[in-house]
Amino acid sequence: MYPLKELDAIVMRAIGSLKFVKEPAGLYEPLEYMMSIGGKRLRPRLCLTAFNLFSDDISSQIIQPALALEIFHNFTLLHDDIMDRADTRRGQLTVCRKWNDNVAILSGDVMCILAYKYLQACPAARTSAVLETFTEMGARVCEGQQYDMEFETQPTVTSREYIEMIGLKTAALLACSAKMGALIAGAPDAQTEALYDFGWQIGLAFQICDDYLDTFGNASVFGKKIGGDILCGKKTWLLVEAYKRASGADRVRLETVMALPSDRAAEKISAMQQLYIDLGVKEAAVSAIEDFHARALEKLEGKGFSSAQIARLREFSETLVHRED
């Protein structure tokens, strides 16, 4: 096994040397832009980390499929930004804002297709399994996005519905990333499936962490303004949990804060933060992240992983759940 930092460097180099731009430039430039504006590159890093548990032979057979995951992820972000009418992403203009919706639709489409092109580099004996895993994941991510959009107009969302939605929208891709690494390395079936389950659980932890940081993160580290979810009334883990806990006077207080107009942004954000603290939601979020993290590690038990392999996966997952950005 290589040090995690070395695997990360391989991913960063591979993404840095991706070259998409060809004719027509109007189609490929937005794609290149989207891939260049950064991100944690979490999915290819997890894929490579899972692969490296079983093999040190890091060639294009694993690097390109790992990139397929990042390209697919960026395709979904590109289309999500149209649907959410988002102006910025990672501090830069979104494609739909820098160009227009039509450009974002079509450049997104070609990204989805190019993701499949990068998958093709996997060993021929694994093509069917990789294709199946990837395609099933793709449908799930769309289903998750659909539920997320439906939640916007749904009066209440239960914890169960919320976890199901982020499972589809976020965890399925992390699960697929871990599984694909194992598949391409030719890992035993039981370990391959265990890595899928591990990826799913850390995906849930990751998303709740995202929700937490949007409200309680350190603005200078987090990279975007704190309180965005509060201002747009997004049904995050925190809000779903608050509705579950608040009754009587607390419920009135919750509804009152929710009803504050957006021109009283600072007041609305701090009132909601305080309410989350008072209701124990802030603390519960930290526990939920730890719980899903623990469940992720439990998925690895009894599957014949060595202690070095387990330690490596723990090292990876800890960077996700103890992150500040």
For 323, half-sphere exposure in the C-beta direction (CA atoms, 13 angstrom radius) is 23
Asked whether position 61 contacts its own copies by CB under 8 A, the answer is no
Among 141-149, 191-199, 217-225, 243-251, the segment contacting its own copies (CB under 8 A): 141-149
Q: Which of 5, 91, 128, 160 binds its own copies (CB under 8 A)?
A: 128
- Comparison of 8 and 70: residue with beta carbon closer to its own copies: 70
Helices and strands, number each (H, E), in the chain:
17, 2
**Count of residues engaged in binding its own copies, rule: CB under 8 A:** 38
How far from chain centre, in Å, is Cα 19? 24
- Comparison of 135 and 218: residue with beta carbon closer to its own copies: 135
Q: Which of 43, 45, 73, 79 binds its own copies (CB under 8 A)?
A: 79
Least distance (Å) between residue 125 CB and its own copies: 9
Residue keyed to tokens 């925190």: 238
Are 282 and 289 a contacting pair, CB within 8 Å? no
CA distance 268 to 48: 42
With vertex at residue 151, the alpha carbon angle to CA 148 and CA 155, rounded to the nearest 5 degrees, is: 170
Among 74-82, 182-190, 205-213, 247-255, the segment contacting its own copies (CB under 8 A): 74-82
Residue keyed to tokens 């979104």: 94
For residue 93, report the phi and psi dihedrals to the nearest 5 degrees. -65, 140
The two tokens of residue 105 are 């639709």
Asked whether position 167 contacts its own copies by CB under 8 A, the answer is no
Bridge partners (DSSP) listed for residue 92: 89
User: Footprint of its own copies on residues 88-127 (CB under 8 A)?
Assistant: 101-102, 105-106, 108-110, 112-114, 116-117, 119-120, 124, 127
The two tokens of residue 153 are 């107009």
Least distance (Å) between residue 215 CB and its own copies: 26
Q: Which of 16, 24, 91, 248 binds its own copies (CB under 8 A)?
A: 24
Residue 88 parent element (H or E): strand 88-89
Of 112, 10, 111, nearest to 51 by C-alpha is: 10
Least distance (Å) between residue 41 CB and its own copies: 22
Asked whether position 138 contacts its own copies by CB under 8 A, the answer is yes
- Comparison of 1 and 105: residue with beta carbon closer to its own copies: 105
Positions in the binding site for its own copies (CB under 8 A): 23-24, 26-27, 76, 79, 82-83, 101-102, 105-106, 108-110, 112-114, 116-117, 119-120, 124, 127-128, 131-132, 135-136, 138-139, 142-143, 145-147, 149-150
